[in-house]
Amino acid sequence: MCAVFLRDTSFDFLKKSAFVLITSGGSPVNTLWHLAQAVLKTRTSVIGGIQLRGAVTVPTKFGNFLGRPDHIDLEDAKLFGSAIAAKVINGGALPARYKIDPKSGGRFYDIIGPILTHLKKAITPLPQSDSEKCDLCDYCVYQCPTDRITIENRNIKFHDTCMVCYRCWHVCPQYAISIKFFPRSGFIERTLYSPKMEKCFGKMEKGEYKNLGPNLYKNVLGRKIKLTYDRHNPTAKFEKNE
């Protein structure tokens, strides 16, 4: 997402130094490397980076890395911050663990990544709202994790950069939001984001697989499970639909 922002705005950091940081609740693939490449194109040198974990709270993937960041993640982030501060104040090199390996990207994943991204874009439609059912309660706007919903002229507008997590669809109390899947696209979506795919292609660390939650696509999209959210406290409660 940040890499796209940098590419679209031709941002110029005036030859400053930067570090890059990503949070991920699933398959990080080469995101840290890609972000570093995008920053390098802005005439900025990248002095290092870190990838941290966080819980996934979108309905269809709820459960991944639940409880993260935990105290160990936060301690890690603190150490990273201290290392950056020490480098800025005293100079010298960052500890090797924060170096971004130039060889970590630019190979298999650079070919497969854009193909999967296009496939996902093609098969996961933006939500739509039904003005007859919608009472403009604003709840979807509040719940959207990326603030991609606005109310304009008494109509719900979903912006193009929506990450199609379908939380708005899941939480709308009036069932006024719909998703128009192509035939079989729900199946492809479930397959693409299955734990097996994440294990095979996600470039996760060995011990991290146990942090993958169940694949909820079928149950959530079939409205067999309902999760209630509090945006400021990212946990969810499962309510079985009768």
Residue 168 interacting with ligand SF4 (CB under 6 A): yes
Q: Is 38 in the site for ligand SF4 (CB under 6 A)?
A: no
Those residues whose C-beta lies under 8 Å from the C-beta of residue 115, and which sit 6 or more positions away, are none
47 phi/psi in degrees, rounded to 5: -90, -10
Kindly provide the b/e burial profile for residues 159-178, where b requires at least 16 CB atoms within 10 angstroms of the residue's own CB.
Answer: eeebebbbbbbbbbeeebbe
Among 80, 166, 193, 229, binds ligand SF4 (CB under 6 A): 166
User: Is the CB of 135 or the CB of 242 nearer to ligand SF4?
Assistant: 135
Site map 103..142 versus ligand SF4, x via CB under 6 A: ------------------------x-x----xxxxxxx--
Q: Does 4 bind ligand SF4 (CB under 6 A)?
A: no
Residue 158 binding ligand SF4, by CB under 6 A: yes
* Shortest Å distance, C-beta 143 to ligand SF4: 6
Q: Measure CA 15 to chain center.
A: 29
Shortest distance (Å) from residue 148 CB to ligand SF4: 4
Comparing CB distances to ligand SF4, the nearer of 100 and 134 is 134
Could you say whether residue 176 binds ligand SF4 (CB under 6 A)?
Answer: yes
Q: Is 221 in the site for ligand SF4 (CB under 6 A)?
A: no
Count of residues of this chain found to bind ligand SF4 when the rule CB under 6 A is applied: 26
* Member of 148, 216, 217, 220 binding ligand SF4 (CB under 6 A): 148
Q: Give me the residues that bind ligand SF4 (CB under 6 A), please.
A: 127, 129, 134-140, 144, 146, 148-149, 156, 158, 162-168, 172, 174, 176-177
